[in-house]
Amino acid sequence: MLPLPPPPPAGMGFMMPMFRPWVPRRIQPWIYVVTVFCVQFSCGMYLGALDSIRGTTGFMIEDMLMLLYAGLAGMAIYFPMLFRMKFRFTNQQLLCGAAIVIGVCNLITMHTTSMPLLLVVCFIAGMAKIQGTFECMSNIQLWITPRRDFAVFFPVLHIVLLTAIEGSGFVAAWFAHHFTWQMMHVATIGTMSFILLTQLTLCRPFCPMPQRLPLRGIDFFSGLLISLLMLIVCYIMVYGDYRMWMDNRNLRLLLGVAFLLGALIMHRLAHVSNPYVSLKIFSYRNVVPILMVTAIGELLLGCEHTLEEIWYEEVIGLEELTKERQFLWALPGVYVGVAIDLLWLKVLKWKVWKLFGIGFGCILSYALIMYTTLDVNAPLQQWHLAIMLRGCAYAILAATLMWSLDESIPDLEQFFMGLFVFNIFHMYLAGAAGYGVYTTLFSHLLNDDIARYGSQLTLTQLDLQHFDMAGFMQQHYLHSMMSVALKQVYGIVVWISGTMTLLFLLLDIPAVRTNARKVPYWPVYGIEMLSRMRPLFRLSSSDRK
């Protein structure tokens, strides 16, 4: 088990020994707050400048999403390495290394359109991003919560994460609108230079462990196989609808490779002496249910990346900066969700069942508002509340699920392995799967609606001499048919989120929760029923004789 860095001595207050003595103690943690925001605002490719990037590079939205999820895969795969790296290298080495890698990656992405190269670059940039974020947040953790109370730390952490997610998209769109999309990468290189400058001038090398932990014994090969599997699954999910899923030979081959890789990874993790990710984490109480809830929540919140993009870009035709300005309304909801988390987990210390219900209830309210108000003539202000509810739901569910995972896995090293699996669902796999599911549903429902409506049009109803076919298709097809299909998909989200909300509100009742635990699993229930029915079969066979 990896040890925690020791807390400061009693009466000394919060200290950051990596700073030089002449740096005022009051501003030391704030320097790291600025640093972590600089790191979090970085990325390999920025979806906020999607239109400008597509216009100059010819990339499709699927290509951009593939690069986004490659960065998220790099962030997820690096979690089991975080503490080993912290206890092996100094703070200067880790932060300067992360800043240099992110800066070089942004320099490369400005000057190439090679998808294989960009995939590798975004993957590496994701690893450097999570390394810089962890190094900053771990050093100011005792400043945020002197007792290492994760009921406080995780909500505050998500203020940083979610602010950067929404803010970076807006800043990238602003640069693309007023300058070029490359200027966002230039700005990122500038912020990385700021990190290098502050680390070299204000800080000195410091490692919390006097005896450095070596990197020997880490199962790097399993980590490489898992990374490859994640990218393959992401490719299938993102390009599935575009390439007609299993009608495409390449996707069928990739699916077979994914199954073989998955089997090889599971065999290696089960038999290697020091696996990259221990399968023991799945045996801890509530870990599997937490992962299931995470996957469902991310699938439902995938509306943001798919349905809203279709609505704002394809139907309404919003310019990129206006769309990102609209998405900024998620931030008030994020801060409300964080405040609810802090009140619930830290102050009131209530059970999380009802808190999960509130989170899924926010998704339900968001989907209901979108379902009932989708209209091309409606003002943009009409969807501000829906976007705030989406942000609130994300903040509640993300912070609460991470806190629940920490409560379920007491061992620190196992917890970071659990964070790796958690973030595969939280940041990566469910989001990519959500895009594939929603695009397929939307395409199917749109084609079905067009076919149903087209069957109602006959030559007896149309005056071809005075009928504007182009205007009819532009107005009715784009505005009406797509709106109807989007409403149908949002209706499915309403039913699923409503079911999850009701489930968690019922589980909050102690009597329901106690009795639900007594219900056997379906295989056990089936075996019990067969054993009870066996005497009846014997009686019937004896009667026949």
pLDDT for 458 equals: 53
Q: What is the pLDDT of residue 352?
A: 87
What are the tens digits of pLDDT across the range 506-525? 887 776 656 655 655 556 55
Q: What is the pLDDT of residue 10?
A: 45
Cα distances (angstroms) measured from residue 358 to each of 341, 391, 395, 501, 508: 11, 13, 11, 7, 11
Task: Return the exposure string of 498-519: e unless at least 16 CB atoms fall within 10 Å of the residue's CB, then b.
Answer: bebbebbbebbeeeeeeeeeee
pLDDT the model gives residue 400: 92
Task: Report the distance separating Cα 494 and Cα 519, nearest Å.
Answer: 28
**Alpha carbon of residue 72 to chain centroid:** 8
Closest listed residue to residue 290, CA positions, set 399, 402, 431, 392: 402
How far is C-alpha 107 from the chain's CA centre?
25
Query: Residue 352 in contact with residue 400, Cβ under 8 Å?
Result: yes
Contacts of 466 (CB under 8 A, 6+ apart): none
Q: What is the pLDDT of residue 1?
A: 43
Q: For the stretch 202-224, what's the b/e string if a residue is b when 16 or more beta carbons lie within 10 angstroms of its beta carbon?
A: ebeeebbeeeebeeeeebeebbe
What is the model's pLDDT at position 185? 92
Task: Match 């200290």 to its residue by tokens.
Answer: 15
SS3 of residue 203 by DSSP: strand
Kindly indicate whether the domain formed by 284-456+470-509 is annotated with CATH number 1.20.1250.20: yes
384 by Cβ neighbours in 10 Å (0-12 / 13-18 / 19+) ranks as middle
Q: pTM, whole model, 2 decimals?
A: 0.87
Provide the token pair at 124.
């590496």
What pLDDT score does 457 carry? 55
- Domain spanning 27-215, CATH class: mainly alpha
CA distance 18 to 165: 28
Per-residue pLDDT at 281: 86
Report how far residue 308's alpha carbon sits from residue 525's, in angstroms, rounded to the nearest whole number.
43
Least Cα distance to 213 among 369, 413, 63, 355 occurs for 413
Residue ranges of domains in the chain: 27-215, 219-275, 284-456+470-509
Residues in contact with 366: Cβ distance below 8 Å, sequence separation at least 6, in sequence order: 303, 386, 387, 389, 390, 393
φ/ψ bin of 431: left (φ > 0), alpha (ψ from -120 to 50), beta (otherwise): alpha
| Structure-token pair, residue 219 | 């199962």
The yes-or-no answer to whether 27-215 and 284-456+470-509 have a common fold is yes
User: Mean pLDDT by 10-residue block, N- to C-terminus, for the chain (545 residues)?
Assistant: 49 75 90 93 84 83 88 88 85 92 92 90 92 90 88 91 90 90 92 93 83 77 90 90 87 93 90 84 86 89 82 83 90 93 88 90 92 84 91 92 87 80 78 83 80 58 52 58 84 92 84 61 61 64 57
Contact residues for 135 (Cβ-Cβ < 8 A; gap 6+): 86, 91, 94, 95, 98
- Torsion, CA 430, CA 107, CA 35, CA 22, rounded to 10: 160
The CA R_g of the chain, rounded to the nearest whole Å, is 26
Residue whose entry in the numeric block shows the structure tokens 């704030």? 30
Q: Which residues contact 198 (CB under 8 A, 6 or more apart)?
A: 31, 35
pLDDT at position 474: 54
Question: What is the DSSP code string of 96-141?
Answer: HHHHHHHHHHHHHHTS---HHHHHHHHHHHHHHHHHHHHHHHHHSH
- What is residue 430's predicted lDDT score, i.e. its pLDDT? 73
CB 192 within 8 A of CB 38: yes
Helix/strand/coil for 25:
coil
